[in-house]
Amino acid sequence: MEFDYIIVHYDEIGLKGKNRGSFEELLIRNIEMKLKDLMKSCFRESGHLTIEINAKADISKIKEALSQIPGIAYFSFAKKVELNLDSLKKEAVSFLEDKKYDSFKVNTVRHDKGFELNSMELNSKLGEVIIKACNKKVKMKSPDIMLKIELSKKSAYISDEDIKGVGGLPTNPQQKVVALLSGGFDSPVAAYLMMKRGCEVILVHFHNKNQASSSVEGKITKLAEQLSKFQVKTKLCIVPFENLQKEIIMKVNSKLRMLIYRKFMLKIASKIAELNKAKFLIVGDSLSQVASQTFENLEATYTDSERHILSPLIGLDKREIIDLAKRIDTYEISAMPYGDCCSYFLAKHPTLKADVRLLKKNEALFDVDKLVESAIKQAKAKVI
Ligand code: ATP
Ligand code: MG
């Protein structure tokens, strides 16, 4: 079967009332930017988007790209058919010609109600023809093939497989955020969840070149490349952390160091957010998961941040985070060896209950503005 169209379905966009048009436009723009010359056009029809495929396009490439574009709940490769009963009968039989199956069911969805028959009537008319022409039986529950007929205002489409997308909302370049990306399992998932909710996520990684056991390229770039599949444009900033870290190690008690590393990371990330017109900082914290993420330490770390911090994983268990990491294919990359600078020169038993004043007292030991400025100057950004 040669498919010529794809029917793209969203769910949450459908609930947007008057704003629905602008979400659809964003989704069309993102699909166009991702599929490029794999497609000819993408347009709105009643209740869904329709993509006209380039005849020479590699279907597996289209499938991979669409299943990673936020805003798409599911999609199906389809054959376009003229909107009349005779064509539908003929094309339904020809659609099933080369397929191996014993049972089938016809499922008509009328996105536009103008057609002469209602869904039930069309289901039974097409069912009769298929039974006769193909000698197959109808099965209402778990048929081998579910033949889907979608009726729009001007055309009909036949398909037999719904492919799951990531759901969520389309990337909006006006909703920029900066995600702090470590080499661990959590922060890539946090970045992904924000992408899924329609944010354009800028990734920032702090790197101590004297300490990392493998190169940034080996792991962080790979993570960024994998995450870039879920949005249109991905900027990765690598910020050298060795000088700052040396100074922190000299001045701050090892029990508190982790929190001061984190405070500086948040300060530098806030500056990067400001420079890129990003509104929020995103971290991979999950409440009480590790010492730096106790209730008290999170409050001490987040207080006074120049930018608001969002922690999309805050209420998830590690198991749930790992399951998500596997689903978005960051798990294997995160499992690669890499010494994150956050775990450098720490006490065996770090403080579990820091307070804001204690952290402030320690921050006062530094010329913060100068250190932030120097880190920003040395940062390297690339677009993936
Ligand atoms: P992860 O699996 O994301 O590394 P974690 O449980 O190991 O999380 P921490 O090391 O305490 O937690 O880091 C908490 C958060 O701080 C990370 O999720 C990330 O957002 C940020 N972070 C930590 N280290 C770095 C780094 N080197 N560069 C950028 N962000 C970092
Ligand atoms: Mg970490």
Q: What is the pTM of this model?
A: 0.95
End position of a domain, from candidates 96, 131, 164 = 164
Q: How many CB atoms lie within 10 A of CB 380?
A: 11
The answer on 209 and 186 residing in a single domain is yes
Domain with residue 338: its CATH number is 3.40.50.620
Evaluate whether 225 touches 384 at the Cβ level (below 8 Å).
Answer: yes
Atom of ligand 1 nearest to the CA of 183: 4
Q: Last residue of some domain: 114, 145, 164? A: 164
CATH of the domain at 17: 3.30.2130.30
Range of the domain at 185: 169-383
Is 94 in the same domain as 236? no
3-state SS class at 137: strand
Q: Is the same domain home to 176 and 160? A: no
pLDDT at 98 over 70: yes
Question: Does the pLDDT value for residue 157 go beyond 80?
Answer: yes
Tell me the average pLDDT of the chain.
Answer: 94
Give yes or no: residues 69 and 211 share one domain: no
Q: To test ligand 1's pocket by mutation, which of 187, 203, 301 has the most ligand atoms within 8 angstroms of CB?
A: 187
Q: What is the pLDDT of residues 258-269, one digit of tens each?
A: 999 999 999 999
Query: Would you state the pLDDT for residue 213?
Result: 59
Burial 158-173 (b: 16+ CB within 10 A, else e): bbbeeeebbebbbbbe
Whether residue 217 is predicted with pLDDT greater than 90 in this model: the reply is no
The finding on whether 314 has its CB within 6 A of some atom of ligand 1 is no
Tell how far the Cα of 241 is from the centroid of ligand 2, in angstroms: 15
Can you give the pLDDT at residue 176? 98
48 touches ligand 1 (CB under 6 Å): no
354 and 258 in contact (C-beta within 8 Å)? no
User: Are both 91 and 150 inside the same structural domain?
Assistant: yes
Find out whether the beta carbon of 285 lies less than 6 Å from any atom of ligand 1: yes
Which of 24-28, 275-279, 289-293, 338-342 bottoms out in mean pLDDT, i.e. has the lowest?
338-342
C-alpha radius of gyration, the chain, whole number: 26
Taking the centre of ligand 1 as the mean of its atom positions, its distance from the CA of residue 181, in whole angstroms, is 6
Q: Which residues of 96-121 are buried (b: 16+ CB within 10 A; e: fewer)?
A: beeeeeeebbbebebeeeebebebee
Q: Domain total for the chain? A: 2
Are residues 217 and 151 part of one domain? Answer: no
